[in-house]
A and B are shown apart, each in its own frame.
Chain A
Amino acid sequence: MTGGRPVALVGGATTRFGVRAATWSQLVQEAGARLFAAIPNLAASDVDSLFVGAAEPERFAFQSHVAPLAAELLGLEPHRIVQRTELACASGQSAIRSAYAAISAGLSDVAVALGVEKMNLPSMAEANTSMACVMDRPWDGAHGATAPPFFAMVAQRHMLEHGTTEDQLAAVSEKNHRFANSNPDAQFHEKSFSREKLLRLPLIAPPLRLGDCSSMTDGAAAVLLVSGELARKYTDTPAWIRGSGQHASWHNLANAGSLTEWTGMRIAAREALGSAGITVDQLDFAELHDCFTISEIVEYEALGLCDPGKGGAYVADGRSDLGGDIVVNPRGGLLGCGHPLGATGVAQAVEVYRQFTHTVPPARQVPDPEWALVHNLSGSANVHSMMVYARGG
């Protein structure tokens, strides 16, 4: 247990994810309206702080200073902390972690953490350019480094070192797309992908095919975090933040070390699970950052769900599926829901709340969950961010 005051997640909502006929601001408005609808007792005047997770609004929406814009759109007048959080693909979890830290420290009592990204632009080359400046732009990005070739190299090494197969990659995609079928806000809702179909999709960055890659997605999500003593004002079933861990040590790919052993994630997991006072086998489900199928496989190993190199077999044997050891990505993952960078981490937290309150369709409901872990990697898996949640009574 970390020091400080208990912090509760008392509700949340997401917009529909996908290629949306909506601007950055309109996505924020939708998320705000859905947040207030989801928490009937929430008044705008309750909210003392606002954290906006947005990875690249300067590039995707040509807009800086986005936290006050979001405050205006939600009708909030935060008087304690108002800020944007940026950590590329983990920007949303950054917003939640910042709100958690503020409430835990007594600097905030009621905080909204909102995540948003508008990635589909008239020119997708423009959007791809934005993705390439997540890496060390002048030294790695200049060679044309976007995420797919990097994670393709992870897959290539994992196949070479451990015999992981394309079929095992497809097993991750099949599972997460199947879960997304019962998530009406998912980008790939009502679209089914068999392993056979996935293996016929075109290559994007060999050995990764289209179905191995999460999408460029528009979407937003918001959650309400409050200090423990205020939780019952908003819900009878709060989710409690019990642990947190994060790790970063390098940025340029030359300083990456092994592609297939994500030691930074091990360190973040030790910190997150340790601060929650639990072990990995106590987790009922986990939202793991499946930006690519290979990511989820390496994450099983780094989290300690299976031995190094065995992640491919772990998913193929159904151990990360309903009925397995732990359910991974019941929301549908980034593969099934799409990956609006800033929104993803917040949408994962919304899923935690919904799973704990049994408000998801039966096809993706984890049986009686008590502990959940949310993980985001960012950039070239050089940062790992994790939070541990417990169901409250």
Chain B
Amino acid sequence: MPAVAVAKRRAKKRAPKRAEAALPKIELRAEPTAPPPKKPATLTLLDFFPQEESQQTRVARFFTELRAGRFMTTRCAKDKKLLWPPRVTCPQCHTEELEWVELPQRGHLYAFSALLAGAPLGMEDELPITVGLVDLEGAPLRLFGRLVGAPWNEIRVGERVRVEPYDLPDGRVFYRFHVESRSVEKPT
């Protein structure tokens, strides 16, 4: 590019100053409460985990709250049906009026197993992959999830677990269940 053109471009770049000064002054209201936008994760291929950014999903709040230690889902504002995973419409009455609610983070194991061989791509180093179904305490939800905190052959049905957020390598956040104690509740 010829030197003249470069000089012209620089001059143009500085020019907007006058225009900026002409903008009307705006009183700032309260600080924005939303967390600063993170750099969207760059995916070469879709992977297992949800797309979490607000540009990608209408339930980005689940992930921002999870990062802050709250475990949330949506509930129908009309018939109060508790929905999992977080939905944007109610499958019972088909309204779009949903509300966010915080879920209990403790529960006990309804069933569990562990995958000892045959891991999916990217999870080969995680064998044995221990998973279970967890009855949340005080909410009519039985959630599936990864179990950590105890080897599979020491876990029992009825065992207490708690929700544990964890960071994915690319900056996203997800949840799993941590085996909390050795106390076993009577299996249901």
Contact = CB atoms under 8 A, between A and B. Distances in A.
Contacts of A253: 133, 142-144
A205 B145 CA distance: 15
Contacts of A202: 116-117
Nearest to B157: A160
A255 B73 CA distance: 14
Contacts of A254: 84-85, 141-144
Nearest to B84: A254
A287 to B, nearest CB: 25
Interface stretch (A69-77, A148-156, A235-243, A342-350): A148-156
B49 A138 contact: yes
A148 B144 contact: no
A125 B121 CA distance: 5
A145 interface: yes
A204 B118 contact: yes
Contact of A144 (B119, B133, B143, B152): B119
Contacts of A203: 116
Contacts of A141: 48
A45 interface: no
B116 A205 contact: yes
Interface string A119-146: 0000111101101110011111111111
Interface in A188-205: 202-205
Interface stretch (B9-17, B20-28, B106-114): B106-114
Interface string A156-169: 11001000000000
A206 B48 contact: no
Nearest to A148: B115
Contact of A149 (B123, B131, B143, B174): B131
Contacts of B51: 138
Given A139-B50, A139-B85, A144 B113 contact: no
A114 B144 CA distance: 35
Contacts of A138: 48-51, 85
A282 interface: no
Given A125-B124, A142-B50, A144-B123, A255 B113 contact: no
A259 interface: yes
B188 to A, nearest CB: 10
A252 interface: yes
A162 B116 CA distance: 25
- Interface size class, chain A: 35 or more
Interface residues of B, number: 38
Contacts of A143: 131, 144-146, 176
Interface string B137-173: 0000111111000001100010000000000000000
Nearest to B168: A142
A292 to B, nearest CB: 11
A145 B131 contact: yes
Interface in A82-140: 123-126, 128-129, 131-133, 136-140
Given A138-B49, A253-B144, A149 B129 contact: yes
A146 B148 CA distance: 17
Most chain B beta-carbon contacts within 10 A, residue among A154, A204, A207: A204
Contact of A206 (B50, B116, B123): B116
A62 B115 CA distance: 26
Most chain B beta-carbon contacts within 10 A, residue among A132, A133, A143, A157: A143
Contacts of B97: none
B72 to A, nearest CB: 14
A124 B124 CA distance: 11
Most chain B beta-carbon contacts within 10 A, residue among A153, A160, A204: A153
A208 B116 CA distance: 10
Contacts of A150: 113
B113 A125 contact: no
A142 B172 CA distance: 13
Contacts of B117: 202, 204
B113 to A, nearest CB: 3
Nearest to B143: A254
B115 A146 contact: yes
Contacts of B131: 143-145, 149
A73 B144 CA distance: 42
B142 A144 contact: no
Given A138-B48, A138-B49, A156 B121 contact: no
Interface of A: 123-126, 128-129, 131-133, 136-146, 148-150, 152-154, 156-157, 160, 202-208, 252-256, 259
Q: Across chains A and B, which 8 residue pairs bring their CB atoms closest together, nearest first?
A: A152-B113, A138-B50, A153-B111, A144-B129, A253-B144, A129-B120, A142-B48, A149-B113
Given A138-B49, A205-B114, 12 more contacts: A128-B121, A133-B48, A140-B144, A144-B119, A153-B112, A154-B111, A205-B116, A206-B153, A207-B113, A253-B142, A254-B85, A254-B144
Interface of B: 48-51, 84-85, 110-124, 126, 129, 131-133, 141-146, 152-153, 157, 174, 176, 187
